[in-house]
């Protein structure tokens, strides 16, 4: 290869490809995303500290078998109780999906919102496109936060922290849903209104959070 060919190739690559890439602003992650990442990192650190011995492995396997047996026996009751949701129960969390996606919107056609108390600032809002499968809003007032999201049913796939926590049935405006006490005055509520699924997480307190959930309405 001629000595000047590598430099010529590099210059051509830079001119034709690299320089044609438009400048793009840095992506700003939501407070919700940052909070979730911190939780995952903390869980990872905790898991890495525990050593797996033969005895511990045997206990874990036995517990897994018992859990699977119990789940198999109770899955019918769970499905009857949460007809609109399909749940997979694990040691540290529960994965929840919609159990009713037929003839439902595949993108956000009607936008819903909540009545936010005075003094809260909207710090993050998803931009809505014709193909948007969900939209979320993050509000803050000092250390109190409110995370509200709307999903199309086929894209609703969430992991709820149910480690040592109880997932309970709740009715929001006569719509089936569930609530989880996450500790430290923090609660998670999710419900199905027939067309979409909503969830709301906050450390505002249980009573106030239920009131927020019941304030959800379609944007006219």
Can you give the CATH number for the domain in which 141 is found? 3.40.1000
133 assigned to some structural domain: yes
* Residue 84 confidence (pLDDT): 86
Top mean pLDDT of 10-14, 34-38, 50-54, 153-157 is at 153-157
12 assigned to some structural domain: no
Mean pLDDT computed over every residue of the chain: 79
Q: Which helix (H) or strand (E) holds 6?
A: helix 5-16
Residue 83's pLDDT band, with cuts at 50, 70 and 90, is confident
Are 62 and 122 found together in one domain?
no
pTM for the structure as a whole: 0.68
30 assigned to some structural domain: no
Are 160 and 75 found together in one domain?
no
Q: Taking residues 108-126, report their average pLDDT.
A: 96
161-193 tens-digit pLDDT: 998 998 999 999 999 999 999 999 999 999 999
* Residue 201 confidence (pLDDT): 97
Are 108 and 141 found together in one domain?
yes
Residue 220's pLDDT band, with cuts at 50, 70 and 90, is confident
Query: Residue 155 pLDDT more than 90?
Result: yes
| Percent of the chain whose predicted confidence (pLDDT) is above 90 | 54
Name which of 114, 155, 156 is nearest 137 in CA terms.
114
Residue 137's pLDDT band, with cuts at 50, 70 and 90, is very high
Q: Which domain holds residue 177?
A: 85-218
Query: Residue 93 pLDDT more than 80?
Result: yes
Name which of 131, 113, 144 is nearest 215 in CA terms.
113
14 assigned to some structural domain: no
50-60 tens-digit pLDDT: 455 555 555 55
Are 65 and 129 found together in one domain?
no
Between CA 212 and CA 201 the distance in angstroms is 10
Are 95 and 182 found together in one domain?
yes
Sign (positive or negative) of CA dihedral 136, 162, 212, 175: positive
Top mean pLDDT of 12-21, 27-36, 52-61, 156-165 is at 156-165
Q: Taking residues 27-40, report their average pLDDT.
A: 58
* Residue 24 confidence (pLDDT): 53
Are 105 and 77 found together in one domain?
no
Q: Hey, which residues does 135 pair with through a beta bridge?
A: 150
23 assigned to some structural domain: no
Name which of 164, 159, 200, 194 is nearest 176 in CA terms.
194
195-208 tens-digit pLDDT: 999 999 999 999 99
Between CA 16 and CA 219 the distance in angstroms is 46
57 assigned to some structural domain: yes
Q: Which of 57-61, 80-84, 111-115, 158-162 has the lowest mean pLDDT?
A: 57-61
74 assigned to some structural domain: yes
Query: How many structural domains are present in the chain?
Result: 2
Are 76 and 137 found together in one domain?
no
Are 55 and 150 found together in one domain?
no
């Amino acid at each position: 290869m001629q000595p000047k060919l590598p430099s010529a190739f590099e210059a051509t690559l830079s001119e034709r490809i690299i320089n044609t890439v438009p400048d793009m602003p840095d992506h700003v992650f939501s407070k919700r995303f940052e909070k979730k990442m911190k939780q995952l990192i903390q869980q990872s650190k905790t898991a890495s500290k525990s050593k797996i011995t033969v005895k511990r492995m045997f206990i874990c396997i036995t517990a897994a078998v018992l859990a699977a047996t119990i789940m198999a026996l109770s899955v019918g009751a769970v499905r009857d109780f949460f007809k609109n949701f399909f749940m997979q129960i694990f040691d540290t969390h529960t994965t929840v999906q919609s159990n009713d996606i037929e003839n439902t919107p595949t993108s956000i056609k009607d936008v819903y919102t909540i009545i936010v108390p005075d003094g809260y600032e909207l710090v993050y809002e998803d931009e809505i496109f014709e193909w948007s499968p969900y939209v979320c809003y993050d509000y803050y007032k000092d250390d109190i936060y409110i995370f509200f999201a709307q999903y199309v049913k086929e894209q609703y796939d969430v992991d709820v922290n149910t480690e040592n926590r109880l997932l309970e049935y709740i009715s929001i405006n006569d719509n089936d849903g569930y609530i989880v006490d996450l500790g430290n005055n923090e609660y998670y509520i999710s419900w199905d209104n027939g067309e979409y699924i909503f969830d709301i997480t906050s450390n505002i307190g249980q009573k106030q959070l239920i009131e927020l959930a019941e304030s959800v309405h379609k944007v006219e």
